[in-house]
Amino acid sequence: MKLGAVDDGQYFLHDNNKQMELLCCDNEKDIGVWISKDLKWSKQCNTAANKAMSVLGMIKRSFSHFSIESFKILYNTYVRPHLEYCVQTWNPYVKKNALRKSKEEQQN
């Protein structure tokens, strides 16, 4: 079995006289982490930030009054895991992604 490329950028997988074309995609999700074909993590950063903000909005709508201690417990339990999921992999190395993550944390 070998992997080969044709001049026009199409890739094929050859196995036992069978040839299958490999399709190209812009973004791929693997184990819950989004990555683009140019190996940038912007979609992962945006998805994580949007999910965290939606959960934070749900918390704010669900509770009319709560203390700082109870908010910290809710934030650390429900919001922060969305921001930290696989952060070792997609560590926000682009300034705009790092600023977005810090903005999310500052609002809380």
pTM for the complete prediction?
Answer: 0.57
Map residue 31 onto helix, strand or coil. coil
User: What does the DSSP assignment read for 53-87?
Assistant: HHHHHHHHHH-SS--HHHHHHHIIIIIHHHHHTTH
Instruction: Report the share of the chain in percent with pLDDT over 90.
Output: 16
Average pLDDT, the chain: 76
Rounded to an integer, the average pLDDT of 16-34 is 79
* Environment class of 23 (CB within 10 Å of its CB; exposed 0-12, middle 13-18, buried 19+): exposed
